[in-house]
Amino acid sequence: MSNQERFSLLAATRRIGWGGVGKLRLILDQLPCADVVLYGDEEFTAPINEFLGCHHNFIDHPTQRLDAALVINDPGKANAIADLKVPVVYVDSLPYIHRSERHLPSLNKLAYYCAQKHPVELFPHTSPLLQDRPQIKWIDPIVPPMPKPRGGRGLVVNVGGLYVYDVTGIEPDLTDQAVDSYLRLVLFPLLNFLHASGRKISAVCGNLSAEGCSRIRAILPNCQAIGPQSPRAFERILADADLLITSPGSTTILQAMSIKLPTLLLPPLNNSQFYNAPIFSRPGAETMQWPSHVIDATKLELAQTQGITAVFRYMFRSIIEAARSQAVVEEVAAMIRNSVNNAPVDGVLTNCIEALGAAGAQQVADLVKAVAHARRGSLRHSAPLTKVAV
């Protein structure tokens, strides 16, 4: 590959769970010609680098002007990078949850605003903030080229990213307490029930703590994979599964759809998961939603208008409070058992992936390359930047 084909790319995502990092990885897979600089300090970027693995060319600082930027789901970072005069390709994988302009970057600062399609029948219900915006490019879902499904290995449980690393005002102690409460309310009762009913469980995935993994091994001594998995290992695990029970993150939901893996949805831990469950489920399908006295939809909508910090504080504090009540613990456990026992054989997800498409990663990568090569052409004779704050 010639040096003229290579370009420097500033990449950023919001680390709420793993969805943004997963989408970043899939787009970078289509950009082998990019020298990637991660935006943020080392404490923030090091785990992203580790999660993405050795398949991309990461560098600490560009040797020339930055040619383009790719930002996933983080309007603040998109605005900050655009102010550096770097052209930004922005990816919004959750265009249906926005309730305030603060949830959006400044569209006039961006090279492209890419909004990921959601089920066609629900397009009229996308955020009103995004309607009638000619700058928006609707892209296919960003999903991996999944291995051919094989099945036969039983059931997979996935709790996804769990932790929130990138929301100002959310104390680490609050996140930790909410995750511990979620495991007590949802995961451990589910695993105990599945084990007692004799179901074969091949994997329990997610960025669980060492203590959490030890507790799972005590419940499921024969489970083959427990805890965090590399992206490619997770794809293999899904390909081998007969049933997936997962937290309702859109990335995992779309992956399961792409291989027609029967899937059940756990109660949500964050706001996007709350909206993902009904959007990606068949009409009338029974999903494992929180009782209304735990998470009240009206209160959540109000928090949405106040910003993402208010949303997480409301959800986290509600889940923590619920876990303190033995009556609620038993109520949620009963709901989970009933949902699993009454689940349809083919799961609860709508069959929409064929209508939506699956080429989102390539579509975004093509835009990034176009922006970068146009930038290189216009700045070929400009002096290098001495240093860019990333």
- CA proximity to 219, closest of 196, 202, 238: 196
CA-closest candidate to residue 188, choices 157, 216, 207, 221: 216
- CA-wise closest residue to 66 among 38, 93, 45, 41: 38
CATH topology for 7-143+358-379 is: Rossmann fold (3.40.50)
Would strands 225-227 and 136-139 be described as parallel, antiparallel, or unpaired?
A: unpaired
- Rounded Cα gap, residues 246 and 199, in angstroms: 16
Q: Global pTM?
A: 0.89
CATH code 2.40.30.30 for 155-341? no
Rounded Cα distance between 359 and 333, Å, is: 38
Are both 7-143+358-379 and 155-341 of the same fold? yes
Can you tell me the distance from the alpha carbon of 388 to that of 227, in angstroms, rounded to the nearest whole number? 37
Taking the C-alpha atoms of residue 365 and residue 135, their distance in angstroms, rounded to an integer, is 18
* In 206-313, beta strands by DSSP E: 225-227, 243-246, 263-265
Kindly report the number of other CB atoms within 10 A of residue 51's CB atom. Answer: 18
| pLDDT, tens digit only, all 390 positions of the chain | 455 588 999 999 987 777 888 899 999 999 999 999 988 877 677 777 776 766 677 777 665 679 999 999 999 999 999 999 999 999 999 888 887 787 889 989 999 999 999 885 554 556 667 776 777 899 999 998 877 788 889 999 999 988 877 777 788 899 999 999 999 999 999 999 999 999 999 999 999 999 999 999 999 999 999 999 988 899 999 999 999 999 999 999 999 999 999 999 999 999 889 989 988 998 888 889 999 999 999 999 999 888 889 999 999 999 999 999 999 999 999 999 999 999 999 999 998 888 888 899 999 999 999 999 998 877 554 544 434 445
Q: Scanning the structure block, which residue is given the tokens 């590399």?
A: 230
What residue segments make up the domains of the chain, in order of their start? 7-143+358-379, 155-341
